[in-house]
Every structure is written in structure tokens, then in C-alpha cells.
DNA sequence: CGCTCCGTTGAAACGGTTCAACCCACGTGG
DNA sequence: CCACGTGGGTTGAACCGTTTCAACGGAGCG
């Protein structure tokens, strides 16, 4: 499959005429990243953004002591690095491939040029950024207003919503990564999972999690019930 | 001054032809809010967004126990509530006037219509949302990877950057509000200010803060030095 | 086989919050 | 004009959730 066909499938380019997609394809690059490989680093100058074709990437920051906070995971179809396309500063955070990942790199100047010509693309991008802002809002809420059990409960319910079998979840990331996503450390996450298990809220077997008591779990997520 | 003149001065509408601004002005509303008055609430259906003309507003969330996390303060020229213009969900957080505030309400449909016609406006809005995302990124970083002294130090240095007299700061919000912005409570903030005073980093007299040792303060902000 | 990575568990330490008391500046009403 | 209440800010002591440090078990892999 060539670049143009791949681009045409993306939600970002939905509703865009083929001719313009061809144009973008001409200046775009297909890139491959090995597991754990760096995609860009905080502060790097930015010449464009990325669209994930396959695999998974994370955007994160590290503290001075080495603790990692993951902002978001990106999978096939997602865009990353768009923020610095529209502001003249380097990347606000770093990104790395979580497994073997392929992505399309779209140069900044050509993309802006395309937006100027087609407002549909602009609206698509505005929708993407708005969604991202929503996610940040709930992340801030979780970090500041909820304790770790609340964050975990909220995350499990979030996963539950986007699954076919809403009570049988499979974590597609390691528990260490999950801890970094929830703003805590593996030890704490482990303890809380054990507690939730003993309280009959969930059942954990490796990366398989079954929700046993959704009602109470919801209350924990809201901070109405403590563990 | 009429609505159209006010709109024309906003960075959001920079570079936009007067005819289109007139059009927007026709469907916009001038609103006034008393100190403390609610502007919109989390989850409210959204029919448009707001531009602050004078005064100050805050966007925030409350925990189930009543703790407040302020996401951002907005002053004259800033827009708020744009996020839900581009996604079909209610407001992700609540907003209230921090003092007597006037704002222009711009209806969603007309604004989207205008974007469709003028890509300049789209690019302006993309720039605004991107900047907001950057702020969220540093907020998350602060909450998750820094301790309260680090957050305070970072905030003071941030204020210092945007002042004429970079070593003499005046807090324009109450310390209680500052605590809510930094993700902590007034008691903790007070203690840390005292500590920083005793360590010779700053000098606090009411809402006047003088930075005495910027170098060390920077290290505290980076987490390289503990208090 | 032995290494590394991930996850788990325990005990101690720490940062921050909670609760309570108190101070001060300010505005209001008697 | 003073008494009073109110809101913002400060301080102390107890408490609590989370992290830290250390040790250990198991799975996967060269």
C-alpha cells in the first residue's frame, strides 16, 4: 500500500479530495521505530508531526529523579506532535515507540499550506486537539483530586467502555506502564489491585482483569467510597 | 465601543476582514458577571464560547470532597470554552468570574461557519488550542513529577518572566486561589512560603513577593534542590 | 543455566492534608 | 465610633496515603 492510500484512510484526512492527499503524500515520509526507540525528545525543534500506522507510541515526561509520567498512548490512526506545528516552540514532551511502530511523518509547512486551502482539514484538526484537551482535563483532575484507587477505578471503567466484553478486560500495556500513566509507581499499583481484589471489586490474573462489582467501582472512581 | 470594534481587537480575529467580523458581531452577545458568579458548569450543553473583555475568570474542577483544582485563569483577550465547540460533548470543566467580568458570547454554529470560509481564523484557533495544550502539559508535569515547593518556585519564575521588574512580583490572585492553582491547599502553601523565606530564596509581604535568590529558586523548580 | 525484566510484599520514612486554634484587616450595623 | 462578624492567612500536632528501600518469586530468553 502506498502512502497516499494510507493517508486517505485516516480520520484526520476524512472528506479531503484525493488530489490534495496526493500532494501531501509526496512530501511525507514513512518511518520505522524499534521497540523502545525514541521518536522525538522534549525541546526538539519541530519540522512536522507524525501519524501512527501500526504499533504503539507513548508521549511522556521524566522527572529529575527519573520518574516517568505518561501523558497518552497513541495507536494506529492517531496523530502525535501536532501541538508544535501551530506554536513556534519545540516539542513540549518526549515520545517513544512502545513496540515496533511505523509512522508517517508530515512536514509542517506543507500541512499548514493545505489547511489554508481546505477548511475541512482545519476542522478535523481542531476536533483532534479539542479531544486531546479533554483528556488532559481528566488527567489533571485525576492527579489532583483523586487518590490512586480512584484513578485506577476510573481507568478500568474507561477501558470497560471501549471493549466488546465490558467486564473482561485485557491490559494491553504492562502494569509498570499503567502505573506511569496513572501517575504512581508499580508497587502502589500492585498493592491497590490486591486490595480491590480482596474487596471483591475486581479479579486480577496477570494482564486479565475481570470487573466483579461495577457499581462500587464507580463509587471508588468518584471518590465516594474509600478502599 | 460596539461589539464589532471589540472583536476586531482580539488576537483570535487578527487578520480577519471587517465584513466577517461584522457578521459575527451580529450574532454575539455581551455578557456581564458579578464576582464569583458562575459562567458555565461542567457537563452543560454548549452553544458557543466566550471571549473575556475585562475582568478575570477561572476554569476549574471540584472533587467530591470540595477541593478545587484551578486549570487556568483567563484575562482580557482570552477565550474560554472553545474546546466544546469542536467536540459534541458538554463543557469538560466549570468556569466562574473571579471578579466583575464582561465577556462576549459567540455562538458555535456561526463561528464554525466562519472558520469554513476563512482559514486564517482556523489557524488562529489552532494556535490557541496548541498553547493551551502546552500549559496542560506543564500542569500535569508539575502535579505528577514535582513537589509543592517545586511548583511554587516554577510559578514564581513564570510570573517573573512576564513582569517588567522581574524580581518584584505582585500576586494578582489570593493565596488561597494560588494554592488551588498549584494543586494544594492554603496551609501547605503558607508553610512553604515561610520556608522559602527562611532559606533566603524569597521575601513575602502580603501579596508582594521579592525574589532574592533566583538561581537556587530555579534549582528548586527543577527538583534539583530540596527545601 | 543464569540473566534480566516485571511484579509482588513488607517495613520504615516522608510529604502533604486535616483539624483546630488564632490573628489581622475590613466592612457593617447598632 | 465601637462591637461584631467575616474572609484570608498563619501555625501546630496528629494523621494518612504514597513512596522508598530492600528482598524475593516467576517468566522469558540467550
The pLDDT tens digits of the residues spanning A81-105 come to 999 899 989 999 999 999 999 999 9
**pLDDT, chain A, mean:** 94
- Please report, rounded to a whole number, the percentage of residues in chain B having pLDDT higher than 90: 82
B139 φψ region: left (φ > 0), alpha (ψ -120 to 50), beta (else): alpha
What the block records as the C-alpha cell of A33 is: 521505530
Percent of chain A residues topping a pLDDT of 70: 100
pLDDT at B163: 87
A7 Cβ partners below 8 Å, 6+ apart?
A13, A21, A24, A25, A28, A51, A104
Q: How confident is the model at residue A134 (pLDDT cuts 50, 70, 90)?
A: very high
Of the candidates A98, A71, A96, A146, the residue with the CA atom closest to the CA atom of residue B145: A71
Q: How far is CA A211 from the centre of its chain?
A: 23
Q: What is the pLDDT of residue B227?
A: 86
Q: What are phi and psi of A190, to 5 degrees?
A: -60, -45
Question: How much is the pLDDT for A181?
Answer: 98
Protein-to-nucleotide distance from the CA of B194 to the C1' of D10, whole angstroms: 10
Q: Which residue has the higher pLDDT, A1 or A4?
A: A4
The pLDDT, as a whole number, for residue B166 is: 74
- Model pLDDT for residues A21-36, shown as the tens digit of each residue: 999 999 999 999 999 9
Alpha-helix runs per DSSP H in chain A: 3-8, 18-27, 108-117, 119-145, 148-161, 175-181, 186-198, 214-222
A225–chain B Cβ distance below 8 A for any pair? no
Average pLDDT over residues B196-205: 96
CA angle A126, B134, B178 (to 5 degrees): 120
**Confidence grade of residue A2 (pLDDT, cut at 50, 70, 90):** confident
Q: Is A203 exposed, middle or buried (0-12, 13-18, 19+ CB in 10 A)?
A: middle
Are B183 and A144 an interchain contact pair (Cβ–Cβ within 8 Å)? yes
> How would residue B183 be classed by pLDDT, with cut points 50, 70 and 90?
very high
Please indicate whether, in this complex, the C-beta atoms of A71 and B140 are within 8 angstroms of each other. yes
Q: Which three cell numbers stand for residue A4?
A: 497516499
Confidence at residue A15, expressed as pLDDT on a 0 to 100 scale: 82
| CA gap B207, A215 in Å, rounded | 46
CA distances from A23 to A5, A137, B155 (A): 12, 36, 44
Average pLDDT over residues B89-118: 94
From chain B, the residues in CB contact with A84 under 8 A are 130
| DSSP SS3 for A156 | helix
* Residue the block writes with cell 452543560: B44
- Residue B66, helix vs strand vs coil: coil
pLDDT digits (tens, 9 = 90+) for A162-195: 888 778 999 999 999 999 999 999 999 999 999 9
pLDDT band at B143 (very low <50, low <70, confident <90, very high): very high
Q: What is the DSSP string of A25-85?
A: HHH-EEEEE-TT-EEE-TT---SEEEEEEES-EEEEEE-TTS-EEEEEEE-TT-EESGGGG
Q: How many C-beta atoms surround the C-beta of residue B114 within 10 A?
A: 19
What is the predicted pLDDT for the residue at A217? 98
Q: How confident is the model at residue B172 (pLDDT cuts 50, 70, 90)?
A: very high
Residue A155 or residue B17, greater confidence: A155
**Predicted local distance difference test score (pLDDT) of residue A6:** 86
Q: C1' nearest to CA of B174: which nucleotide?
A: D8
Which pLDDT score, from 0 to 100, does residue B109 have? 94
Q: Which of residues 180-219 of B touch A (CB under 8 A)?
A: 183
pLDDT for the residue A80: 95
Alpha-carbon distance A144 to A136, whole Å? 12
Kindly list the protein residues whose beta carbon lies within 7 Å of any strand C atom: A 174-177, 186-187, 189-191, 193-194, 204, 207; B 65, 67, 147-149, 183-185, 187-188, 191-192, 226
User: Is A1 a residue whose pLDDT tops 80?
Assistant: no
- Which has the closest alpha carbon to B151: B142, B163, B162, B164? B142
Amino acid at each position: 500500500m502506498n502512502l497516499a492510500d494510507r493517508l486517505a484512510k485516516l480520520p484526520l484526512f476524512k472528506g479531503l479530495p484525493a488530489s490534495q492527499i496526493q500532494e501531501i503524500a509526496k512530501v511525507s515520509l514513512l518511518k520505522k521505530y524499534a521497540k523502545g526507540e525514541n521518536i522525538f525528545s522534549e525541546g526538539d525543534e519541530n519540522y512536522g508531526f507524525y501519524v501512527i500506522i501500526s504499533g504503539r507510541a507513548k508521549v511522556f515526561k521524566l522527572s529529575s529523579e527519573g520518574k516517568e509520567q505518561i501523558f497518552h498512548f497513541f495507536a494506529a490512526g492517531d496523530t502525535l506532535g501536532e501541538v508544535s506545528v501551530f506554536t513556534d516552540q519545540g516539542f513540549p514532551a518526549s515520545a517513544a515507540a512502545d513496540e515496533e511502530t511505523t509512522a508517517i511523518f508530515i512536514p509542517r509547512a506543507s500541512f499548514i499550506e493545505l489547511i489554508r486551502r481546505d477548511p475541512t482539514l482545519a476542522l478535523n484538526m481542531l476536533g483532534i486537539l479539542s479531544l486531546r484537551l479533554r483528556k488532559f482535563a481528566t488527567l489533571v483532575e485525576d492527579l489532583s483530586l483523586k487518590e490512586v484507587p480512584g484513578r485506577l477505578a476510573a481507568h478500568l471503567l474507561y477501558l470497560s467502555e471501549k471493549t466488546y466484553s465490558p467486564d473482561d478486560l485485557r491490559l494491553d500495556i504492562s502494569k509498570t506502564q499503567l502505573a506511569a500513566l496513572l501517575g504512581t509507581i508499580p508497587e502502589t499499583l500492585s498493592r491497590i489491585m490486591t486490595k480491590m481484589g480482596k474487596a471483591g471489586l475486581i479479579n486480577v490474573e496477570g494482564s486479565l482483569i475481570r470487573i466483579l462489582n461495577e457499581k462500587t467501582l464507580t463509587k471508588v472512581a468518584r471518590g465516594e467510597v474509600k478502599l
